[in-house]
């Protein structure tokens, strides 16, 4: 199986973040996916948001809870269909 491409960025907090599930290849000219979110603009890297800003907000909220509770693991349960990168990662990890 091919390796899943990803990009590591350094956030304003100095932490490293992996972006392959957050962004998709190519730029968009219209709509939310081409606009910056919380200071990060993926179009500068030739990419766009793969999910709506509201979805990324949910992930960010979960991270805040994990940090606050010093939790080793967390789960975000959603009724949305999984994205192709999510299915690829799940298949790769078994």
DSSP string, the chain: -PPPP--EEE-TTS-EEE-TTTEEES--SSSGGGS-BTTB-GGGGTEEESS-HHHHHHHHHHHHHHHHHT-S------SSPPPHHHHHHHHHH-
The size of the chain, in residues, is 94
Q: What is the pTM of this model?
A: 0.52
Token pair for residue 33?
Answer: 């996916």
Q: What ranges do the domains of the chain cover?
A: 8-93
Cα 44 to Cα 36: distance, rounded to the nearest angstrom: 10
What is the predicted pLDDT for the residue at 1? 42
**Residue 77, pLDDT above cutoff 70:** yes
- At 5 the pLDDT is 53
Q: What are phi and psi of 57, to 5 degrees?
A: -60, -40
With CA atoms as reference, report the closest residue to 7 among 44, 53, 54.
44
pLDDT tens readout for residues 20-31: 677 888 888 778
């Amino acid at each position: 199986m091919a390796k899943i491409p990803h990009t590591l960025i350094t956030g304003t907090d100095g932490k490293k973040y992996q972006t392959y599930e957050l962004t998709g290849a190519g730029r968009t000219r219209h709509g939310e996916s081409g606009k910056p979110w919380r200071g990060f603009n993926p179009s500068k890297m030739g990419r766009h948001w793969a999910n709506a800003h509201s979805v990324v907000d949910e992930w960010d909220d979960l991270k805040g809870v994990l940090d606050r509770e010093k939790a080793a693991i967390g789960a975000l349960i959603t009724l949305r269909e999984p994205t192709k990168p999510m299915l690829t990662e799940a298949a790769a990890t078994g």
